[in-house]
């Protein structure tokens, strides 16, 4: 019985903390939603730099593949009409 009385007196205080916390969460929710939307809609400078770097690497990989195919066609004496084999150094 002695343990039940303090718990009964503390229960309303604990409930008040929960209500206050919920009220703060409800008030701050629109701010969080708006900031998440702004973050999703905008691109930071570092994100833009990373995207541009990725695009450049992909383009360099594509050019490298095309160059290797050109060299192989010229080496096997089967160039396409648009191939310029004079730019390929002999092996």
Over the stretch 33-68, which tens digit does the pLDDT of each residue have? 777 777 777 778 899 999 999 999 999 999 999 999
pLDDT at position 57, please? 98
Residue 47 phi, psi (nearest 5): -65, -40
Give the torsion through C-alpha atoms of 23, 28, 33, 39, to 10 deg: -160
CA 55 to chain centre: 15
pLDDT at position 87, please? 84
Is the whole model's pTM more than 0.95, yes or no? Answer: no
Q: Give mean pLDDT, residues 63-79.
A: 93
Contact 75, 91 (CB under 8 A): yes
For 77, the token pair is 């004496």
């Amino acid at each position: 019985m002695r343990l039940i009385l303090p718990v009964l007196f503390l229960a309303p205080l604990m409930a008040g903390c929960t209500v206050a916390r919920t009220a703060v969460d409800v008030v701050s929710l629109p701010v969080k939603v708006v900031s998440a939307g702004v973050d999703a809609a905008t691109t930071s400078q570092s994100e833009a730099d990373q995207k541009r770097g990725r695009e450049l690497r992909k383009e360099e990989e594509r050019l490298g593949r095309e160059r290797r195919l050109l060299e192989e066609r010229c080496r096997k004496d089967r160039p396409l009409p648009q191939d310029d084999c004079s730019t390929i150094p002999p092996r």
